[in-house]
């Protein structure tokens, strides 16, 4: 299964470097540079046929899909990590609270949602779409980093050693397993 993931376009909170999590914040008006990046990513998608085009239940991923010209099906398994009391606060606050644990062992952390639950959602997503050959997913930073870590290492503990920028396009190939 090939999964192409695109992180949502920037929001006001991305610009202010605030954690969004489950907060349903719209994307900002597009700049000329963002239009160019969408065109570049669209060229990467050319010729690909997707079994499913998906987004989370949060507005910013739906809006991003629309800017790409897609009508995506919402799936809550794709929702961003619930940062609980850290939503609306700078990422530095979370780093000060959890430090090395956030970087090395995020599965041990519970915010508004445990990060082990985020990993369970990743696995549920992969199982749910196991029969698809090609997926296009409009998602969130933590979710995409967790998926990338799971893809590379079989767990999400390396997710916070990675970065995924707004509007970044990543392709991952998963070996499908008969369930």
Domain ranges of the chain: 2-173
Q: What is the pLDDT of residue 127?
A: 95
Angle made by CA atoms 83, 86, 89, in degrees to the nearest 5: 130
Q: Which two tokens stand for residue 105?
A: 């062992």
- Give SS3 for 146: helix
> Would you tell me which CATH number, out of the four given (3.40.50.1240, 3.40.30.10, 3.40.50.620, 3.40.50.10950), belongs to the domain 2-173?
3.40.50.1240
Which pLDDT band holds residue 30 (cuts at 50, 70, 90)? very high
Per-residue pLDDT at 177 exceeds 80: no
pTM of the model: 0.95
Which pLDDT band holds residue 179 (cuts at 50, 70, 90)? very low
Q: What is the pLDDT of residue 47?
A: 86
Q: What share of the chain is helix, strand, coil (3-state, %, to 5)?
A: 45, 15, 40
| 107, 136 Cβ separation under 8 angstroms | no
| 84, 21 Cβ separation under 8 angstroms | yes
Element (H, E) at 5: strand 2-7
Stretch 108-116: mean pLDDT:
96
> What phi and psi values does residue 5 have, to the nearest 5 degrees?
-115, 140
Chain mean pLDDT for the chain: 95
| 141, 10 Cβ separation under 8 angstroms | no
Dihedral sign (CA 111, 151, 26, 10): positive
Dihedral sign (CA 94, 34, 156, 125): positive
Which pLDDT band holds residue 97 (cuts at 50, 70, 90)? very high
């Amino acid at each position: 299964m090939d999964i192409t993931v695109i992180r949502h376009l920037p929001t006001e909170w991305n610009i202010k470097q605030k954690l969004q999590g489950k907060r349903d914040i719209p994307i900002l008006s597009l700049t000329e540079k963002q239009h160019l990046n969408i065109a570049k990513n669209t060229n990467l998608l050319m010729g690909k046929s997707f079994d499913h085009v998906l987004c989370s239940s949060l507005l910013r991923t739906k809006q991003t899909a629309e800017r790409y010209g897609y009508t995506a099906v919402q799936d809550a398994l794709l929702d961003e990590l619930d940062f609980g009391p850290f939503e609306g606060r700078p990422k530095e606050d979370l780093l000060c609270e959890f430090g090395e644990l956030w970087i090395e062992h995020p599965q041990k952390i519970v915010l508004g949602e445990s990060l082990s639950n985020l990993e369970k959602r990743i696995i549920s997503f992969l199982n749910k779409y196991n029969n698809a050959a090609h997926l296009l997913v409009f998602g969130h930073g933590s979710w995409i980093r967790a998926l990338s870590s799971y893809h590379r290492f079989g767990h999400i503990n390396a997710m916070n050693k990675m970065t995924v920028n707004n509007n970044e396009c990543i392709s991952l190939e998963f070996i499908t397993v008969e369930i």
